[in-house]
């Protein structure tokens, strides 16, 4: 890839994670920076997990404009912020930290925007009043998804292997309904959208054994995991002829508002960042 030109006055932002080497965010943001001809650069950071707090605290004051935050630091990032937007509070996690010049740290969560963007793009008309959205999982990723779906007016059922955690999510996010893992089949029968927000499906993790055959033919199946892009869960859904939404669309959907917050300029729409990302993932497909 052609190196981006930037000066000593460049605006610096980045992504922090552990590991971060697989992150597609530098590729996406630097492509937008180049297209917008900004004097800026977006770099990866990977502090030791037990040094995350010290790393973030050292950036107070704005020499780095802000950071996207990925696993495993999203909850810790929220804990370090002085102010947080409602989406970050609802998720109990932040995927974006902005460093104000007065030393304050502002936390935001743009994952929910990304999730709704991905559904709108890859499954237009997904928001059906005919049945609830079913979210699998009860961690920060699931909380963010539940909050976004409730905000979009969907009924939401939260299904988690550990039922108590599903109940906690429903207690915190008014309107969501907890469902025991043993009742998953019944919950899926009515579902119009099913979203995997568990860690299962991640490369190296076991897949999910979900009875997708009970879903109606118009149900939409989404996985928040994007590495691999076609998770075993999405492959199963495709094999059944169901509409699918991938985590890469969500990644790009959260990057758009992140870019604007970090660099003060809209992400140039003419850049096909999905094609760039697919190439980086070794795929050429849609």
Using CB under 6 A, list all residues that contact ligand ATR.
71, 137-142, 160-162, 165, 198-200, 206, 208
Beta carbon nearer to ligand ATR, 162 or 183: 162
Beta carbon nearer to ligand ATR, 165 or 218: 165
Catalytic residue among 20, 29, 59, 74: 74
Cβ-Cβ contacts under 8 Å for 182 (sequence gap 6 or more): none
Residue with tokens 């994007």: 226
Asked if residues 100 and 231 have their Cβ atoms less than 8 Å apart, the reply is no
Beta carbon nearer to ligand ATR, 148 or 273: 148
Q: What are phi and psi of 226, to 5 degrees?
A: -120, 5
- Alpha-carbon distance of 161 to 206, in angstroms, equals 14
Least separation in angstroms between residue 130's CB and ligand ATR is 26
Least separation in angstroms between residue 103's CB and ligand ATR is 28
Least separation in angstroms between residue 4's CB and ligand ATR is 30
Least separation in angstroms between residue 162's CB and ligand ATR is 3
- Of the CA atoms within 13 Å of residue 186, those in its CB half-sphere come to 6
Q: 96-99 and 105-108 as β-strands: parallel, antiparallel, unpaired?
A: antiparallel
Q: Is 228 helix (H, G, I), strand (E, B) or coil?
A: coil
Looking at residue 4, the DSSP 8-state letter turns out to be P
Nearest residue to ligand ATR on Cβ basis = 139
Asked if residues 133 and 153 have their Cβ atoms less than 8 Å apart, the reply is no
Active site annotation includes 74: yes
| CB crowding 57-69: b at 16 or more within 10 Å, else e | eebbebebbbbbb
Least separation in angstroms between residue 58's CB and ligand ATR is 25
Q: Give me the residues paired with residue 134 across strands.
A: 157, 194
Looking at residue 65, the DSSP 8-state letter turns out to be -
Beta carbon nearer to ligand ATR, 17 or 139: 139
Beta carbon nearer to ligand ATR, 12 or 71: 71
Residues carrying an active site annotation:
74
């Amino acid at each position: 890839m052609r190196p981006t030109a930037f000066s000593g006055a460049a605006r610096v932002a980045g992504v922090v994670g552990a590991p971060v080497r697989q992150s597609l965010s530098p590729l996406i943001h630097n492509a937008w920076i180049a297209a917008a001809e900004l004097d800026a650069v977006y770099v990866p950071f990977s502090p030791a997990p037990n040094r995350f707090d010290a790393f973030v605290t050292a950036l107070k004051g704005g020499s780095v404009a802000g950071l996207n935050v990925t696993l495993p630091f999203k909850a810790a990032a929220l804990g370090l912020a002085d102010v947080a937007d409602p989406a970050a509070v609802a998720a109990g996690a932040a995927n974006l930290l902005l460093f104000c010049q007065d030393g304050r740290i502002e936390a935001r969560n743009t994952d929910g925007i990304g999730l709704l963007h991905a559904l709108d793009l890859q499954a237009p008309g997904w928001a059906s009043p005919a049945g609830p959205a079913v979210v699998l999982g009860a961690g920060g990723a699931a909380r963010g998804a539940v909050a976004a779906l409730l905000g979009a007016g969907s009924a939401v059922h939260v299904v988690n292997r550990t039922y108590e955690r599903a109940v906690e999510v429903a207690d915190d996010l008014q309107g969501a309904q907890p469902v025991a893992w043993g009742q998953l089949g019944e919950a899926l029968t009515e579902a119009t959208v099913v979203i995997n927000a568990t860690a299962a499906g991640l490369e190296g993790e076991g897949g999910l054994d979900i009875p997708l055959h009970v879903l109606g033919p118009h149900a939409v199946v989404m996985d928040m995991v994007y590495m691999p892009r076609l998770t075993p869960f999405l492959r199963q859904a495709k094999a059944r002829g169901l509409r699918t939404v991938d985590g890469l669309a969500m990644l790009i959907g959260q990057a758009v508002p992140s870019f604007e917050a970090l660099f003060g300029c809209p992400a140039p729409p003419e850049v096909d960042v999905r094609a760039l990302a697919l190439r980086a993932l070794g795929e050429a497909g849609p």
